[in-house]
Structure 1
Amino acid sequence: MHIIRLDSLRPAPWRNGGGTTREVASFPAGAVDFDWRISIADVTAAGDFSSFPGVDRILTVIEGELMVVIVDGEEHAMEQYRPFRFSGDSATSCALPVGDTRDLNVMTRRGAFKGFLSIVELSKKRAHPVFDDQFALLLKGYAVVTAGGEEAKLGALDTVRGDDPAPEVLGRGFLAVITLEAVPT
């Protein structure tokens, strides 16, 4: 069972220096020109997003009330737990009308991978499996993950990486489930 703890992730500056991010996972690991990347960004000021040519992005506000994302001049009001997909090629900026936010970012290299993000309400009675092409990040609440006879608690914003056989998550709260599918060549 592979668990990525939030407190083990070190903040790093955005490419454009406008904020900080914590990389949860990427492939290849730590590469500037990744095929996919999952990260958590702290947004404390309005401004421009970093450019990621050739990359498709999914952004989800996971803490805070509202972020207004402006993509190629068009405004999109982003409320908590509502994933938004856009191109990393686009001129993108944001406004923070009600304060700071923390965001979950899923980025995939166009033509190499396709990313998906779902927000799932956890159950104490029905386990949620995390398959080998998935990551599951606990957004809010409490959860226990089991795999191969092992059991571990997840804290807020801890992530379990899927495997075969699939780890299973039980609890109360909300889970972000990220699926990364390789694009056939």
Structure 2
Amino acid sequence: MTTSNPALTAGTMVHLADSTKRKWAHGDVREIAAGKLGPDADLLPAEGNSWDWRLSIASIERSGEFTPYEGFDRTLTVIVGELLELTIDGTVQAVEGLRPLKFSGNSTVSAALPTGEVLALNLITRTGVLRGNVRIVELSKKREQHLFGGQLGVLLQGKATVLREETEAPFELRDTMIGGEEDSPRISGRGFMAVVSLDLP
């Protein structure tokens, strides 16, 4: 998949609607962003297909085998739908909504849809080059959630606002905010957000 190369500077909002919808074996996929990680935890855009991490949202509408990603780690989070059943190297894993599951891209993986199609947030990171983590946080209007360097926040449910210095902007459903060390974006509202953290090993 060729990357869309959005700007990844701190405080940038990446709108999912601006990403081209593409077909994949199990449904449709929209790439949020892809790139590398700088030494100061800066997110650097990908150059063509040269990337160490990629974040996307995909529909899983049909059962069947996933394409392997050898040399990468994958973290999958169901964001719409009740349940996805993955068989990973022969072991069945029930993936419930908003519960990230990490597994090796080298694994043999097949999907089943016991409760119907789902929508999933997918993080892929190059093994040994980057470590990726997805954490689901419940947002509050009273307690701000900061996004720091090497972090992206994806609004999964609800309504939220982004604050930087004295500015305030709406945070729309399934859009992504890029974090930063200086004047880190602060998120408040009601709902759930995926905090994607990228670190050097």
| TM score, norm. by length of structure 1 | 0.93
Could you tell me how far apart the structure 1 residues matched to 2:50 and 2:105 are? 13
2:22: which partner in 1?
Answer: 12
**2:160 pairs with 1:173:** no
Deviates more, 1:26-35 or 1:59-68: 26-35
Contact 2:162 2:186 in 1 (8 A): yes
Structure 1: tracts of 5 or more residues without a match = none
Paired residues, number: 181
Matched, 1:105 2:113: no
Question: Whole-Å Cα distance in 1 between the matches of residues 103 and 49 of structure 2?
Answer: 20
Alpha-carbon distance in structure 2 between the residues aligned to 1:98 and 1:31: 37
1:31 Cα deviation (Å)? 4.1
- 1:1-185 to 2 correspondence within 5 Å? 1-14=11-24, 17-27=25-35, 28-29=45-46, 31-163=48-180, 164-183=182-201
Give the percent of matched residue pairs that are identical in Structure 1 and Structure 2.
Answer: 41
SS of residue in 2 equivalent to 1:143: strand
Tell me which stretches of 4 or more aligned residues in structure 1 moved more than 4 Å: none
Deviation of the 1:13 alpha carbon: 2.9
- Unaligned runs of 5+ residues in structure 2 are 1-10, 36-44
Judge conservation of contact 2:26–2:59 (CA < 8 Å) in 1. no
Residue 104 of structure 1 deviates from its aligned partner by 0.5
Q: Give the SS at the match of 1:97.
A: coil
Aligned-residue CA RMSD (Å) = 1.3
By how many angstroms is 1:144 displaced?
A: 0.1
